Structure 1
Amino acid sequence: MTGKEDEKRFESQMETLREGYRERLRRQLDDMIRVAENLEESLDPLPTLETLHHELHKIAGGAGVFGMPELGKKARTLELQMKGIRDRAVSGKGLPFSEIMAAIRGLSVPDTLSEKEDPLSSAQWEKPSGVRSDDLAGSEPQLLIIDSHEKRGRELVFSLRYFGYAPRHCHGLSDASSLFPHKAPDAILLSLSASENSYSSRSLAEDIREFFPEVPPLLVLSDNLDFSTRLAVSRAGGQGFFTRPLDVPKVVDRLEHLIGRRERAPYRVLIVDDEPMVAEHFCLVLRAAGMEVQREEDPARVLDMLSTFRPEVLLMDVHMAGCSGTELAGIIRMEEEWVGIPILYLSAESKMEEQIRALNSGGDDFLTKPVDDAFLVASVSAHVSRARRLAELMARDSLTGLLKHIRIKEALEVEMSRCNRDGSTLCVVMLDLDHFKRVNDTWGHSTGDRVIKALAHLLTRRLRRSDSIGRYGGEEFMAVLPGCSPEKAQVLMEEIRRNLKTIEFHAKGETFRVTCSVGIACSSLGSSPEEILQAADQALYRAKEEGRDRICMDGWSEVP
């Protein structure tokens, strides 16, 4: 489905929701008038006042969201007044029945929406960086290589393919439009040489923007870059310089940093609000931004939703019937597993002291309804992105970005539990770089680190999003492949083994290559994580014993 079709579908859904809300709002106002008419004859007016106060709070939050800001403001003012009237009822003082009736009758649904706050404006929202609803697991990042030297450009194309990229080569910027006529590449690798190119700081930027108005990440490859050229590239949006002979793993390392290690899974958002149509509005906005969203009206079901949906952020109203948002936040924070989940209050509550009280009751941020759609997307994205980053720092190896030893073993336990529940299988892979001590002793530990990172890049680019990859220790890696047959695991690891052998590493003016050994084991129904891990480790040991640079599986081996 194209972007325009997505936008039309979004606008159609929002139009349907808006009209549904307006129709329901008319009925809601009529019901409030009937309730208020019975207020004077009631022996106990407090429940009726509570009902009116709660309905006014809903309108104060929802009307502005659906393009009726003036109605929302009037409802908010009356909501605050109703609180004072309710306090008078508690103290036994007389109630201004005529004033209450006049104020409620003064609320009406406007014939037209405010253009300034029309929620259908598609310009109000955009997808957060790194989250694309059309991303497919395993999709290869598209690279544009610009090099007038045919052989050199082709060699770089082949080298980058080993790392799971889809590079395309052309001789100059003028050829770029034919290779990428509809969409810019994920990154540009531009070869510059004093004898081949002469760019001023302005012409390079202008030439690139002529073809790609939004300049993709730009890396420059050259024999030597003087300051004026570096300045030109920097002004054109350059984000990396590399000199020849080219160290491809270094280039890949920068690409991984700029493009993203792997396609990010959509942000998972849970909305808790007892006003279903308002919650659905927020759902549509966040889904249009590429997020996975669920909503829940009943606070009593939220803990179950946390366990099954496992959201990365909670949006919830402060004032809800039966259980306030602050009370629900307190319940959630009692659970150790959810102590760190970001909680964003989304409420019409505008009094600063109430907002501060809510934030002190387990909240991380307070967004006041009506909230701008783009601001909502940006706020959710910022909180989830930060939470993911913190989680990665705790769970991932600082050198490779892969899961740490304990985390990859935890991932195996989770996947094994799932397999034993649904009768599926998985494969566990253990990989070890051959003669790695020799690499460190000969070329130095910094070069050894680059070798480790190169293998990590191969794994992250070639394996699926659903696979778990970890640095098991030193130069040893572990991968958990759920739903993968032994045959597929063998083919996949063979490709990685062969690709690693083709990579040239440069150090101390010399070039060298490395190999790896691989052990694979597959689960059976009822097997434990310890059993399959031990089987994979034994297969790896056998691969080492049989000569290295080969794959061994529980029961057989693959000789190169």
Structure 2
Amino acid sequence: MDKKTEIAARLEALRADYAARLPAEIARLRELVALALVPESQAAALQELGQKLHKLAGSAGSFGFPDLGKQAKKLELQVLDWVAAGTVDTGMLRVFSVAVTALGGELQIAPATSVALPPPATPSGAVSSLIYVLEDDPDVANELCITLRHFGHQVEHFGTIAAAEGEILRRPPDFMICDVMFIDEGRETPEAIARLQHQLPASVPVIFVSSRTDFDAYHAAVRAGAVGYFVKPLDIIRLVDCFENYLDRHRSTPYRVLIIDDDLALAEHYKLVLGGADIRAEVSNSPRDIFALLNDFHPELILLDINMPVCSGIELAQVIRLNQDWLRVPITYLSSEQDEQKRALAMGRAGDDFLSKPLSDLELVTAVSVRAARSRQLSDALDRDSLTGLLKHSRIKEQVDIELSRAQRTGEALSLVMLDLDHFKQINDSYGHPAGDKVIKAIAHLLRQRLRKMDAVGRYGGEEFVAVLPRCTRAEAHLLMEDIRKRFRDLTFTVDQKIFHVTLSAGVASFEPGIERAEQLLQEADAALYRAKSEGRNRVCSLRGADVAPV
């Protein structure tokens, strides 16, 4: 069973279970109205009646009963008025009783709607993209292809537009890099690519290269789906930078959303809907577990019901904000509350946004995607190094702590790699700091491209980096870093027509019994790196186990 079919089946099962429980829920509402007619039990009955109508108003629409949800909301507002006033007109209560008796009447479940699923996720591990290079200059084409292959991509070169056209339609690539003008053919690539884009099931992103800098060339490139435009002579590393940044935005890890709601059935519905859109959600109805959930899950967005027993959503939001570690995580209230003053109060007390129940599956996915994307963008601005896009020193150390705690708890493998660029000062001295920045960005791209989504990589110092590899043994980490070392060694850098290469050294450490603190792992990796440097550089070493001789 594929993902889409499985989620649809689970959603349908939730809807069926909800429909089966409705008669008993409505019967309880009628019992509460009868109790409210008795002075001695009126206050407690109205309190429970309001809570149950509130929950029904918020959930019925999501499970296929929108009319029932609207009726329940009207009745809830009436109950709230009575509770606020402290008095109830017996005649009005009897009219209310008739309305509750009719509640649900002929329950008509609305047809299920499906949420569009994203394309199948790329399996964890190195991401390899299919790239077509359309370039009639063999020297430029060769340099481009070699560099992209070193970064682990599949690359196919076409020396003419005519040769590429049929293949693009037969097997659309993930990305194209195209020269603007093919002189021998007397054709301009943007016009041909624009025409092909209309025939493809999905548009293919393109980077154009050319010696032209006029407006018409840029305009034609935009119409053909350009995400980048580079003027010859090419700065290959800058071009790869543009290419990799685009891919990073479109292959990022799923957003993480924590849903806190006392209605677990509704929360599970939300979780399934978000999962169908490749958004990872966790659900809880226990405010007391909030800090354990936050520490374990690290959400990028919290969806919080306002009206919950024991601890309201507003109170829980304030509890979260008292902990300095979670000040940056946005909190969005999710409630059927319509009272403007109560909504304003909620927003004024630790909340960042408000979504009204009921909301459609499409509204839920769109609202969560937009808010989680913004949260990640702000987090990245604070946590990531501006030159490389990798985690800053403090954040990568936090990741070591997080993953070490997880490994200690689960017993799963964990490896840590510390790597350093060899003779980096000489590069800056010989070719200038801009050249050094190119080298730094190149190794950052290579690390991001060759590591898995679950891995974390950070810039630990000027030319020093740390990679945290969960569920990765020492031997696996060693082989992975050997692959990265060789690929980086073979990259060609050019400055003022001067060509040079750079190597790296790396030290590997792994979680073992007796390692209790992140600092111990970092110290072992650092010592292994020192060994690699002292043994001649351009190698990967560890303090335990046999090292592989560099090739």
Contact kept in structure 1, 2:136 and 2:182, CA below 8 Å: no
Residues 375-524 of structure 1: matches in 2 within 5 Å? 375-423=363-411, 426-524=414-512
- Residue 525 of structure 2 is matched in structure 1 by 536
Secondary structure of 1:44's aligned partner = helix
Contact kept in structure 2, 1:126 and 1:374, CA below 8 Å: no
Secondary structure of 1:389's aligned partner = helix
Q: Cα gap change, 1:522/1:15 in structure 2, threshold over 3 Å: closer, same or farther?
A: closer
Secondary structure of 2:252's aligned partner = coil
Q: Could you list the per-position Cα deviations for residues 296-323 of structure 1 after superposition, in whole angstroms to 9, with x for gaps in the alignment?
A: 2333344443333333222122122333
**CA positional deviation for 1:258:** 0.8
CA distance in 2, matches of 1:103, 1:346: 27
CA distance in 2, matches of 1:36, 1:99: 11
Q: Does 1:167 align with 2:155?
A: yes
Q: Does 1:121 align with 2:118?
A: no
**CA positional deviation for 1:104:** 0.9
Residues 38-437 of structure 1: matches in 2 within 5 Å? 38-88=35-85, 90-91=86-87, 96-113=92-109, 118=111, 120-122=112-114, 125=116, 127=118, 133=121, 135-147=123-135, 153=141, 156-170=144-158, 171-172=160-161, 175=164, 178=167, 181=170, 184-196=172-184, 198=186, 203-204=191-192, 206-224=194-212, 226-260=214-248, 263-423=251-411, 426-437=414-425
CA distance in 1, matches of 2:284, 2:93: 36
Contact kept in structure 1, 2:181 and 2:188, CA below 8 Å: no
Contact kept in structure 2, 1:68 and 1:110, CA below 8 Å: no
CA distance in 2, matches of 1:324, 1:417: 31
**CA positional deviation for 1:8:** 3.6
CA distance in 1, matches of 2:140, 2:421: 29
Contact kept in structure 2, 1:208 and 1:215, CA below 8 Å: no
CA distance in 2, matches of 1:323, 1:95: 35
Q: Does 1:30 align with 2:27?
A: yes
**CA positional deviation for 1:509:** 3.1
Secondary structure of 1:161's aligned partner = helix
Q: Cα gap change, 1:173/1:320 in structure 2, threshold over 3 Å: closer, same or farther?
A: farther
Contact kept in structure 2, 1:142 and 1:186, CA below 8 Å: yes
**CA positional deviation for 1:30:** 2.1
Unaligned 5+ residue runs, structure 2?
none
Paired letter, 1:121: T
Q: Does 1:550 align with 2:539?
A: yes
Contact kept in structure 1, 2:181 and 2:189, CA below 8 Å: no
**CA positional deviation for 1:201:** 9.3
Contact kept in structure 2, 1:199 and 1:229, CA below 8 Å: no
**CA positional deviation for 1:260:** 0.6
CA distance in 1, matches of 2:500, 2:38: 93
CA distance in 2, matches of 1:244, 1:517: 33
**CA positional deviation for 1:245:** 4.6
**CA positional deviation for 1:229:** 2.6
CA distance in 2, matches of 1:92, 1:529: 63
Contact kept in structure 2, 1:62 and 1:369, CA below 8 Å: yes
Paired letter, 1:326: I
**CA positional deviation for 1:208:** 2.8
Q: Cα gap change, 1:539/1:328 in structure 2, threshold over 3 Å: closer, same or farther?
A: closer
Q: Could you list the per-position Cα deviations for residues 351-373 of structure 1 after superposition, in whole angstroms to 9, with x for gaps in the alignment?
A: 22221111112111111112132
CA distance in 2, matches of 1:251, 1:390: 25
Contact kept in structure 2, 1:262 and 1:465, CA below 8 Å: no
Contact kept in structure 2, 1:133 and 1:291, CA below 8 Å: no
Secondary structure of 1:64's aligned partner = coil
Question: How many pairs align?
Answer: 547
**CA positional deviation for 1:188:** 1.5
**CA positional deviation for 1:219:** 0.4
Contact kept in structure 2, 1:25 and 1:109, CA below 8 Å: no
CA distance in 1, matches of 2:396, 2:109: 53
Q: Cα gap change, 1:53/1:224 in structure 2, threshold over 3 Å: closer, same or farther?
A: same
Q: Cα gap change, 1:30/1:216 in structure 2, threshold over 3 Å: closer, same or farther?
A: same
Q: Cα gap change, 1:298/1:466 in structure 2, threshold over 3 Å: closer, same or farther?
A: closer
Unaligned 5+ residue runs, structure 1?
none
**CA positional deviation for 1:112:** 3.6
- Give identity over the alignment, percent: 37
Q: Cα gap change, 1:328/1:238 in structure 2, threshold over 3 Å: closer, same or farther?
A: same
Q: TM-score, normalised by structure 2?
A: 0.89
